[in-house]
Amino acid sequence: MQTITDPSPINNCRALISGENSYKIDLLKRHLAEYFSKVDLLSDSGQLNLLTADSYSVIVVTDTAADALNRDFITNLRSLHPRARLLCLVDRVTRETEKALRSAGLLFLGSYDHFGASYRSILQTALRSQKTNEHQPSQTSNKTPKAFRSIWLQDRK
């Protein structure tokens, strides 16, 4: 697992990226480093159980780790990190996979390009919703905010 540390993040929180190192992942790391004091890369989904429970504020699942794009993987992430906000970035996804991923409680499902253009508002929403839910643990919800519900349809060509 790789770790990137930025000396001036807005929040003293941690983020996790599930995927293989690539140009897209490097760009994603830079975006996340603006908001998080530590960004970890999980390139082997088999290491999921080695992660410290409930230690991430935001988890980004990417299609660079093909075995991670399924409901079981997302459900395991959710059980280890119940307060984390889950985002998923993909280049292409079938309707069946999209339906399964959305039903797993993602805050955002969309393309790398759309995330790159809107990452500030997406991450601010994720952090704001997490902060609200920390004060109401029994009402923790990962329902997709209205602003992000139809983004994937806009990304499709």
Task: Indicate the average pLDDT of the chain.
Answer: 77
CATH 3.40.50.2300 fits 2-155, yes or no: yes
Residue 30 has a pLDDT of 95
For 61: left if phi > 0, alpha if psi spans -120 to 50, otherwise beta; the answer is beta
Q: Looking at the chain, which runs of residues are DSSP E strands?
A: 2-5, 14-18, 38-42, 58-62, 85-89, 108-110
Q: What is the pLDDT of residues 44-83, one digit of tens each?
A: 776 776 777 778 899 999 998 767 777 888 888 888 888 8
Residue 133 has a pLDDT of 57
Q: What are the sequence ranges of the domains in the chain?
A: 2-155
